[in-house]
Structure 1
Amino acid sequence: MTKLEVPGTALIDPDTDLASLRGDCARMVPHWAAPVKSTPPHVSPSSIHGVSVPPASARLLDAMSDYGD
């Protein structure tokens, strides 16, 4: 693997740095608090009357093969 030189820093080995970053993250996990999950309120289908889509967005989606075809 090629070592990259960045001005003002030591040589960087991407493999070593990734392993070091993963290790740092693993050590920090106990310090991170997960947010409390909240469930969104239930919306009955009868209360949904339609969706307004701006013309520019509709043209964009129409041009995408995943959605328009």
Structure 2
Amino acid sequence: MTNLEFHSPAPADPDGDLASLRGDCARMVPHWPPGERAAAPHVSPSRIHGITVPPASARLLDAMSDYGD
């Protein structure tokens, strides 16, 4: 018996929306095997210092409602 099922390699909706993107990703899952995850080392908060944020980046984040409000 011949398998006549055909899967297009291109996205179903080239203009795309979130549902189309999620569908494309779901179809690709079998092609991406999970990699080994290494545990991130724990860093004490007292060791985190000297971090500077450029003023332009701070203004950008402040203007974003998700971060600044």
TM-score by length of 1: 0.49
Larger radius of gyration: 1
TM-score by length of 2: 0.49
